[in-house]
Structure 1
Amino acid sequence: MDLDAYVAEHADEWHRLEALSRRRRLSAVEADELIRLYQRAATHLSLIRSRSPDPVLVARLSHLVLAARSAITGPSAFSLRRIGRFFTVSFPLEVYRARWWSAAVAVGFVTLSGLVIGYIAGHPAAAHVFMGDAEINRLVDSEFVGYYSTYRPQNFALAVSSHNAWLSAQCLASGVLLVPVLYLLASNALNLGVTGGVMAAGGRTDVFFAYLTPHGLLELTAVFVAAGVGLRIGWAWIAPGPARTRGQALAETARAGMLVALGLVGVLAVSGAIEAYVTPSGLPTAVRIGLGGLGWLAFLGYVTVLGRRAAAAQER
């Protein structure tokens, strides 16, 4: 193949294709010409790659073909409209669909934590299975409260948001296996219960809930949502239903899981900001809890109202 002759023969077509690809508006005749030249340029690119793969020419034609394809198919899928749809339809819909799974996770988590808190508060010696006397005294006297002001608020917010996002991602990613999600939930419920039980046994129950509640309402809800969606993914594989294969059910719920994971990044960023700026602030306890409660209720209202609306409209 004489590459120079081939380039000379088709250079005018490529220049014309490049010019049409750059135009914002095309007439019907020009649109037809663009499609025809795009098809020819794609053929030229294929021939050059197989017979005389000059890297410079291949790169030039590849760029030209991609630009023409973009001009034919329209703008990129990334757009403000798609972003708006994600926040008003896709994310709240998937959270709403998994609401009963998330509610079951919340009930189980709170029940287990409450039982551990109650048991250790009534049997303080049981805490020694998890920590020594010195650790218990430090936790009750200073470490629990001091934890929230150890670092600068902006650094602390990023750290806790990242930690909780990682926990949520683990719940979503391991959902297909079911057991890892249950283990993650149980271990975190146990840790929370032990801390609460030690604080209660030391007469600091009010401090425990005053510092946990402002950010914990939204933070734990996000974790419950992630775990609920993860378990829903696993159950779809076990019981796909009569109209879907296991592969189809798993693919559909996994896509939903990715949407929820993206949405929860924002939710956990808000809870992290509350934990860094509101929880350790000097505001009265009622005000701190009230601010955290408003954020929590806003999230619940958002996913319930928009999710129910999207479900009623049979959105996908």
Structure 2
Amino acid sequence: MDIDLFVAAHRAEWDRLAELVRRAGRLRGPEADELVLLYQRVATHLSIVRAAAPDPALLGRLSPLVARARAAVTGSHAQSWAGVGRFLARDLPAAIYGGRRWWVAAGVIFLVTGGLIAAWVAGDPQVQATIAAPEEIRSLTAPGGDFETYYSSAPAASFAARVWTNNAWLAAGCLVLGALLGVPVVVILLYNAVTVGVAAGLMAAAGRLDIFFGLVTPHGLLELTALFVAAGSGLRLGWTVVDPGGESRGSALARLGRSVGGVALGLALVLLVSGLIEAFVTPSGLPTWARIGIGLLAEAAFLGYVLIFGRHASAAGHTGDVDAAYAGDTAREAG
């Protein structure tokens, strides 16, 4: 293909499309129709260039032009505040609410496991001896020991960022690895339950269980709830691999996967809040009742948000999946 001849033949259409894109918000009916028509033509031109003569300079001109034209024709939904509002008020709570049986079950598994481990560690000195040397345990559990000073071991802002990052990776692991039949999710959940149970058991054996709950409760309620939601979503995804219901496995995983992606974004916000509480409230000089009260308020706000908005969205038929217009095409499976 002669590039110079191709450019000469279509330059006027490209220039006209660029002009219409610049005025996209002020176009009249005939001009809007012209925009759509030229967008289709120039998109075809771009395909021809890519296939027949991928000239870098011409591709550099047509690719961004077609992208801007596409945004002008379809609308910039990704940056729409209305879209953000729909996500927060409808899609996110619907997705979390729809998986409530899974994350409640994950929470029960965690709490029962952690409680049994804590009771076992607290009541058996031999078990404690296998965990760490006596001096190490005293260093952890004594007044002013490592367990208490951990929450003030770094500047609050730095500590909050570190905690948020660690917890976000943990939640992401539960969500992403759920497709592996949920097995890694169970491992992550049980590992963290054992970790919390051991710490609680050691503090209880030292007669300082009240200090444990006074430090863990303010941020731990919201943080653990986010972990339960992530684990429940991952387990739900893993079960879909086993039993996709009345649809194809690929379609079921795609639908639930899009919903889980939204949950991941929402949990990042939730974990940011819990991280701020852990950095600024947990080690603060506030009375224990005040610190726990802040944690209870944060937990109640999140659960109320999920139950109220989620129930309403679910009753309206929403599942947390994206609108059909943005879900993409589905290939027919052989069968």
TM (normalized to structure 2)? 0.89
| Aligned: 1:73 with 2:74 | yes
Where does residue 182 of structure 1 map in the other structure? 186
Cα deviation per residue 1:209-242 (whole Å; 9 max; x = unaligned)? 111111111111110111011111111221222x
Deviates more, 1:32-41 or 1:231-240: 32-41
> Does residue 265 of the first structure (1) align with residue 245 of the second (2)?
no
Shift of 1:171: 1.1
- The residue type equivalent to 1:291 in the other structure is I
User: Does 1:18 pair with 2:18?
Assistant: yes
Note closer, same or farther for the CA distance 1:278–1:56 as it changes in structure 2 (3 Å cut). same
For the pair 1:173 / 2:176, whether they are aligned, the reply is: yes
- Residues 32 and 155 (structure 1 numbering): CA distance in 2 closer, same or farther, change over 3 Å? same
Counterpart among 279, 292, 301 of residue 304 in structure 2: 301
2:64 maps to a residue whose letter is H
Provide the residue aligned with 2:211 in structure 1. Answer: 207
Deviation sequence 1:124-163 (CA, Å, 0-9, x none): 2211222111210100110110111110111111111111
Aligned to 1:119: 120
Go from structure 1 to structure 2 and tell me whether the alpha carbon gap of 1:40 and 1:100 turns closer, same or farther (over 3 Å shift).
closer
Q: Distance in 2 between matches of 1:311 and 1:19?
A: 44
Unaligned runs of 5+ in 2: 320-335
1:80–1:283 Cα change, 3 Å: same
Identity of aligned residues (%): 51
Q: Distance in 1 between matches of 2:171 and 2:38?
A: 49
1:275-307 per-position Cα deviation (integer Å, ceiling 9, x unaligned): 111111111111110111100111010101000
- Pairing 1:10-49 to 2, within 5 Å after superposition: 10-23=10-23, 24-49=25-50
Q: Which moved more, 1:182-191 or 1:298-307?
A: 182-191
User: Which consecutive residues of structure 1, in runs of 5 or more, have no partner in the other structure?
Assistant: none
Alpha-carbon separation, structure 1, partners of 2:47 and 2:311: 50
Quick one: which amino acid aligns to residue 257 of structure 1?
A: V
Whole-angstrom CA distance in 2 between matches of 1:251 and 1:267: 24
1:33 and 1:16 map into 2 onto residues whose CA distance is 9
Q: Deviations over 1:220-268 (max 9, x none)?
A: 1110111011111111221222x21222222222222111111000101
After the TM superposition, which residues 139-288 of structure 1 pair with which residues of structure 2 at under 5 Å, given as runs?
Answer: 139-141=140-142, 142-176=145-179, 177-241=181-245, 243-288=246-291
The aligned length equals: 315
Q: TM-score scaled by structure 1?
A: 0.94
SS in 2 for 1:255: helix
User: RMSD value over aligned CA atoms?
Assistant: 1.7
Q: For residue 88 of structure 1, report the CA deviation from its aligned partner.
A: 0.6
For the 8 Å contact 2:77–2:83, the answer to whether it is kept is no
Output the CA distance in 2 between the equivalents of 1:202 and 1:40.
76
1:56 aligned partner: 57
